[in-house]
Amino acid sequence: MELKHKTPMLDQLETGPWPSFVSDLKREAESRKTNPNGIDFQCPAEMPEDLLGVVELSYEHGRTHWKHGGIVGVFGYGGGVIGRYCDQPEMFPAVAHFHTLRINQPSSKFYTTEYLEQLMDLCERRGSGITNMHGSTGDIVFLGSHTPQLEEIFWELTHNINQDLGGSGGNLRTPSCCLSGARCEFACIDTQHICHTFTNEYQDELHRPAFPYKFKFKFDGCPNCCVASLARSDLAFIGTWRDDIRIDQEAVKAYVGGELKPNAGAHKDRDWGAFDIQKEVIDLCPTECMGWDGSKLSIDTKNCTRCMHCINTMPRALRVGQDTGVSLLCGAKAPILDGAQMGSLLVPFIKCEDPYDELKEIIEGLWDWWMEEGKNRERIGELMKRQGFQRALEAIGLKAVPQHVKEPRSNPYVFWKEEEVPGGWKRDINEFRKYHQR
């Protein structure tokens, strides 16, 4: 089918072996042009066509033709909608406005077909018909809608589909979580429950921006970190345990004997030879806390860092412990103002049970500190670096423990605070004069 704009450069992107967004856009362009289902489009049907046109022009010029930012939004919300405008509106009138909507995804991204159809119907009718499933924070993203449609979409979302907008700007971003107990035997916590609970608890922080910059929560059920909370969230909740790894010695022998496939058969496409428990498990334990005497596997729990390697390799023989909770890591971020950073271990272990009161205290302590001390556009991880990790610990009223120490100190100065010094800064001058002349 002949489309509105010629796109020779984009067409090249369709020639590779992988699925192409260009083909997807063309398909949507054709479907909106012919409109076989008779949809009552509230935004121009040509949006995908003009989008292809403006992207082609950007490739030609080697520069973007989008301007982003604006006051578009739904009433009372300071986030969830990101204004985008095309700087060539005469050439591409259908995408003169091309606002993005971030929609809070269901926990762990479980959908029913009916729900997906409702979403797609809404996006097709009141938007461009183009989605991004999902944005990197996890949101369902509707790409491209016009200003008058925003309130309409919001109304339908909240009233018909029972779904809310997600976060953007200087607020709490849409929390996200791994599959956890719904599909995964490694889960140490119910990530869906805590994710949903905190999304509801912190509605104000999600919708009414009051932070210096963005703030992300992510919940992983175990240290395998499937939603990469460690690297991608300002506060990572990572499921863990503090008792022993449960060992089924018979199953260990079955792995050694070859009856059970290591890594649940994930590497069976190639012949790697017989499973060697010494080489593949014991020697790879990062803290060398495992032993194998030929018939019995042992683990020194005190020295186990919960790296998951042994459990991932022999899931039928080893299981996470039963006294479970979370480790909290703070300050991960992508490189924008400062370099990229992984989260730092803030709380080694804390129970993670409804109603999560202790966790809320920690979160709110961190927020109070950051809102008070953080500069505009400074992530909490950057504040932590600027003022020191100690300040983060003080913000949540925690004493430093060995797990917080990254390396021996290199700064020889010790700055005492008044409350740390017996008697404070004031002294009894008469007592002093007894020993020292003027």
Partner 1 sequence: MDEEAAKTLIVETLKKKKGKTKFYLKDFYKWLPDEKNRAVKNLVNKMVREEILEYWSSGSTTLIGLKGVGKQAAAEEGDDD
Binding site for ligand SF4 (CB under 6 A): 178-180, 184, 186-187, 220-222, 224-226, 285-287, 289-290, 299, 304-310
196 scored as a contact of partner 1 (CB under 8 A): no
User: How many C-beta atoms surround the C-beta of residue 132 within 10 A?
Assistant: 14
Rounded to a whole number of angstroms, the minimum distance from the CB of residue 271 to partner 1 is 45
67 scored as a contact of partner 1 (CB under 8 A): yes
The three-class DSSP label of residue 236 is: strand
Rounded to a whole number of angstroms, the minimum distance from the CB of residue 127 to ligand SF4 is 31
Applying CB under 8 A, which of residues 29, 85, 119, 381 lies at the interface with partner 1?
85
273 binds, among partner 1, ligand SF4, none (CB under 5 to 8 A by kind): none
304 binds, among partner 1, ligand SF4, none (CB under 5 to 8 A by kind): ligand SF4
What residues contact 295, with CB distance under 8 A and at least 6 apart? Answer: 249, 253
286 binds, among ligand SF4, partner 1, none (CB under 5 to 8 A by kind): ligand SF4
Rounded to a whole number of angstroms, the minimum distance from the CB of residue 337 to partner 1 is 9
174, 198 Cβ separation under 8 angstroms: no
What residues contact 64, with CB distance under 8 A and at least 6 apart? Answer: 58
What residues contact 385, with CB distance under 8 A and at least 6 apart? Answer: 331, 338, 341
254, 206 Cβ separation under 8 angstroms: no
User: How many C-beta atoms surround the C-beta of residue 7 within 10 A?
Assistant: 21
Q: Of 309, 307, 313, 314, whose CA–CA distance to 241 is shortest?
A: 307
146, 99 Cβ separation under 8 angstroms: yes
Considering the complex, state which of residue 96 and residue 184 has its C-beta at the smaller distance from partner 1. Answer: 96
69 scored as a contact of partner 1 (CB under 8 A): yes
Question: What is each CA distance from 426 to 206, 415, 422, 438, in whole angstroms?
Answer: 46, 17, 10, 18
List the interface residues with partner 1, window 357-386 (CB under 8 A): 371-372, 375-377
239 scored as a contact of partner 1 (CB under 8 A): no
Q: Of 241, 240, 219, whose CA–CA distance to 230 is shortest?
A: 219
Rounded to a whole number of angstroms, the minimum distance from the CB of residue 197 to ligand SF4 is 17
290 binds, among partner 1, ligand SF4, none (CB under 5 to 8 A by kind): ligand SF4
Angle at 276 between CA 270 and CA 281, to 5 degrees: 105
154, 124 Cβ separation under 8 angstroms: no
213 binds, among ligand SF4, partner 1, none (CB under 5 to 8 A by kind): partner 1
Name all contacts of 306-309 with Cβ < 8 Å and 24+ positions apart: 306/223, 306/240, 306/241, 307/223, 308/186, 308/222, 308/223, 308/224, 309/281, 309/284, 309/285
CA dist., res. 343 & res. 223, Å (int): 13
243 binds, among partner 1, ligand SF4, none (CB under 5 to 8 A by kind): none
Rounded to a whole number of angstroms, the minimum distance from the CB of residue 155 to partner 1 is 17
Considering the complex, state which of residue 128 and residue 176 has its C-beta at the smaller distance from ligand SF4. Answer: 176
Rounded to a whole number of angstroms, the minimum distance from the CB of residue 389 to ligand SF4 is 24
340 scored as a contact of partner 1 (CB under 8 A): no
Q: Which residue has the tokens 């909490």?
A: 380
Q: Which residue is nearest to ligand SF4 (CB)?
A: 221
Considering the complex, state which of residue 87 and residue 288 has its C-beta at the smaller distance from partner 1. Answer: 87
Region of 26-34, 74-82, 181-189, 414-422 interacting with partner 1 (CB under 8 A): 74-82
Considering the complex, state which of residue 68 and residue 246 has its C-beta at the smaller distance from partner 1. Answer: 68
221 binds, among ligand SF4, partner 1, none (CB under 5 to 8 A by kind): ligand SF4
List the interface residues with partner 1, window 154-193 (CB under 8 A): 168-171
